[in-house]
Structure 1
Amino acid sequence: MYYSEYETEPREKRMKRKWKGVKDVLYAAAEHSGEFRDRLKALGACPNDFKDFADYGRIPPLRKRDIIGMQEEHGLAWFLDREPGQLSRIYQSPGPIFDPEGTEPDYWAWSEGFFAAGFRPGDLAQMTFSYHMTPAGLMLEEPLRDIGCAVIPAGPGNTEKQIEFLTQLPVTAFVGMASYLKVIGQKAEGAGYDLKNDFRLEKAYVAAEPLPESLRSEVETMFGITVRQGYGTADVGCIAYECMELGGMHLSNYRHVEICDPATGEPLADGETGEVVVTPFFTDYPLVRLATGDLSSIDAGQCACGRTARKLTGWKGRADDTAKVKGQFIYPVQAAGVMGKYPDVANWQIRVKNPGGRDVLVVLLEIETEIDEKVFAADFQAIMKLNPVVETVAPGTIPADAPRLVDERTFD
């Protein structure tokens, strides 16, 4: 079973349809987006100069760090084809960056992915992504409602309450991070629950972090469920999703996805590893060739599920100086704003680890005097949306030329 006819259309037909979507974005951006007009001007081009995907690949990608500065300088409306009050919602993600949401049905295009993961009308889904400022909770709730599922807007944290919902209500589906579902399972087992008899879970849809096969297998075995993942961002929504056959994530039918050379932005051939660059088919907030910073490759093989879209082969690291932790991006420049409140900090570094498969954010502070670590952690969390482990070290411990952000995670 498929959610839409696009999932099984011939590839040649799909690419013709996607080229029409890309052209609509091109013309909308050229008319309404100050950002894209500036890019075209620097390129010495107009929309009519781009006749096919090869031409399109000559447009320099747009990077999120540039959007942050442009939004600060020009305001959100500089990017839009309408007044902000005519949108559906406006979120804010770390950066900070505003994420507009238009009014079209299934705007973020997650419905196909949920359906491919086995979500059906009548499922009761427990949503553990945040509903506060960032788009994840509502972004993933609305497609569930479109399918015909009911949703418990649990949000993140408060694990005891999560267990209460899962045991007292007929919850059949979990939506959130696989690492958090593992934590829920471990705490429930510690409280004496039998996860296969006291819970009614059948499936989980996970996102916002890498999913190593070891973690998938552990959670599936723990609960006796299937776990499938989706891949997307707060800017563009769904980029790709897994089906029951696994072996990669099918590219969304509602975005044009390229794998590009991180240095030049030029598209690479299928099978080569490069940066994921996405054009969502938005015309209210037209984003032309948005560079995600994530590395992957494309598998052009046929899938046994019958879906004809090519697949991303999985997350293979970052191409820039950011890291994604628990669904939130860490920008060193934003962290520097927090450090500016503490003049006694001589140097600092952020380290991301995942002991036991659970992400931990460690902030090292070089400082001679004492610091209230709880106050610092609260200030950091208020800006970065993540609660750090704070460690103080003696001045000179962190090399002067050391990177501000070090991702030490492994995903075996």
Structure 2
Amino acid sequence: MDRSNGLYNNFEKDTPEARAERQFGNIRAVVEKAAESSGEFKSRMDAAGLAVSDITDLGSFSKIPVLRKKELISMQQEKGLDWLLTAEPGQLSRIYQSPGPIYDPEGREKDYWGWTEGFYAAGFRPGDLVQMTFSYHLTPAGLMLEQPLREIGCAVIPAGPGNTPVQMQLMTSLPVTGFVGMTSYLKVIAEKAREDGLDPRKDFKLDVAFVAAERLPESLRNEVEEAFGMKVRQGYGTADLGCIAYECLELGGMHVSSRCHVEICDPRTGEPLPMGEIGEVVVTPYTLSYPLVRFATGDLSRMVDTPCACGRTAPKLAGILGRADDTAKVKGQFVYPSQVAEVVRDFPQITRHQVVISNEGGKDLLTLKLVLGGPLDQKEFIPAFQGRIKLRPAIEILGGENDLKEDAPPLVDKRTYE
């Protein structure tokens, strides 16, 4: 199968001038639709003293205040989902729920989440049999990433997460050539295969992988590519926005998708920064049912415009370089200190707590450090934490010299990416 460089659509080779013209045309359509039907957007524009007529180019567009995820969560809870939509809920395709809790609507536009060109850039081609290991339950990842594969012409095994023996049985008994999921899980499969006396290169037919939901250190990419003799490429997006950027076969960063407008902005002011400067990723997808205009992701990155040998002319994001706020993303889930505090409040014997995230050996680990004023039933606490945060914590009970100070930060991210 020829997986060499190829473009999925002509937008990927736009000149800067053509790209800017197309971007503003799409943005104008989104702004007009949102100003007509979205209570959230109308309220934001009114508060800023702006009208649609004021948005005449990309420069004036950046004057619209950014929308943050924390605001989105509170709006959905206080105002209802309808306040943010431009269509009736029954006119949507699907409504998911992600941790927060937050609803993620999916409109009926073709390739709504916009991942198809990213999969093609990663080397997926018609005739691939692809194993999908993201969840299909409530959260959008499984279906979000299955649709573009079928659009390309691939067949999909909706395996979902976990149950590694069954995953391996599928991969070794069927001609599975593609994998979609987390790189750390591919590493788990390789390790389990060796334990069972299998050779990941000879007994599996994996050729390409599209990974997301966690950072990808080059050391981990190299380890998994070597184990299976395959190519591993990553995509960057969120459950709210869909695809933001993706890697091509040439690597060197993630090309910005043609289905959204991406800015790198000052986290304090929301104003765009010059090419090459580090700032917050702010995204406006060109979708109309659920207009998220200038949505601030909380992720830090920088843009580079070095020409790429793949032929795509879109600038690249130089990886995800940190977080602009006090949240962290672990195994595809956002961890909010406020959510952790809500769980802890139900257990008065916990006097202080701190979330510590590490990634020794390339695997993310969430440790919850606790200072106790009385006995804690971990068999009751851990399920309560997992039910709210969607992650199982490792518990570390502190005391004596290891006690937490009163001003200790609620969340510490110790991960390194070498």
1:216 has 2:221 as partner: yes
Query: What aligned pairs does 1:144-183 form with structure 2 within 5 A after superposition?
Result: 144-183=149-188
Q: Who is 1:55 aligned against?
A: 60
> How far has the Cα of 1:231 moved from its partner?
0.3
> How far has the Cα of 1:372 moved from its partner?
2.1
Aligned pair partner of 1:187 in 160, 180, 192: 192
Contact 2:149/2:156 (8 A) holds in 1: yes
> How far has the Cα of 1:9 moved from its partner?
2.1
1:81 has 2:86 as partner: yes
> How far has the Cα of 1:305 moved from its partner?
0.6
Q: Who is 1:394 aligned against?
A: 399
Q: Deviations over 1:273-316 (max 9, x none)?
A: 00000000111101110000000011112111111111111110
Distance 1:368 1:392 in 2: 11
Query: What aligned pairs does 1:208-247 form with structure 2 within 5 A after superposition?
Result: 208-247=213-252
Distance 2:385 2:173 in 1: 36
Distance 2:83 2:414 in 1: 38
Query: What aligned pairs does 1:32-51 form with structure 2 within 5 A after superposition?
Result: 32-51=37-56
Aligned pair partner of 1:403 in 402, 406, 409: 409
Amino acid at match of 2:136: Y
Distance 1:325 1:12 in 2: 38
Amino acid at match of 2:413: D
Structure 1 spans left out of the alignment, 5+ residues:
none
Distance 2:22 2:399 in 1: 59
Distance 2:166 2:382 in 1: 25
Q: Deviations over 1:365-406 (max 9, x none)?
A: 211322222321111111111111122223881111111111
Q: Who is 2:294 aligned against?
A: 289
Contact 1:124/1:151 (8 A) holds in 2: yes
3-state SS of 1:351 partner: strand
Query: What aligned pairs does 1:7-406 form with structure 2 within 5 A after superposition?
Result: 7-394=12-399, 397-406=403-412
Output the TM-score relative to the length of structure 2. Answer: 0.97
> How far has the Cα of 1:83 moved from its partner?
1.2
Contact 1:278/1:290 (8 A) holds in 2: yes
Distance 1:59 1:401 in 2: 36
Give the aligned length: 412
Q: Who is 2:3 aligned against?
A: none
> How far has the Cα of 1:24 moved from its partner?
1.0
Structural RMSD (CA): 1.1
Q: Deviations over 1:249-283 (max 9, x none)?
A: 11000100000001110000110000000000111
Distance 1:99 1:292 in 2: 15
Distance 1:117 1:374 in 2: 43
Distance 1:60 1:402 in 2: 32
3-state SS of 1:118 partner: coil
3-state SS of 1:271 partner: coil
Contact 1:368/1:394 (8 A) holds in 2: no
Distance 1:269 1:298 in 2: 9
Amino acid at match of 2:411: L
3-state SS of 1:201 partner: coil
Distance 2:51 2:359 in 1: 46
Distance 1:132 1:171 in 2: 23
Distance 2:379 2:119 in 1: 39
Distance 1:184 1:131 in 2: 20
3-state SS of 2:46 partner: helix
Distance 1:137 1:111 in 2: 14
Amino acid at match of 2:124: F
Distance 1:192 1:184 in 2: 12
3-state SS of 2:236 partner: strand
Distance 2:249 2:399 in 1: 51
Q: What percentage of residue pairs aligned between the two structures are identical?
A: 59
Structure 2 spans left out of the alignment, 5+ residues:
1-5
3-state SS of 1:270 partner: coil
> How far has the Cα of 1:46 moved from its partner?
0.6
Amino acid at match of 1:321: D
Q: Who is 1:3 aligned against?
A: 8
Contact 2:245/2:317 (8 A) holds in 1: yes
Amino acid at match of 1:64: K
Distance 2:256 2:377 in 1: 47
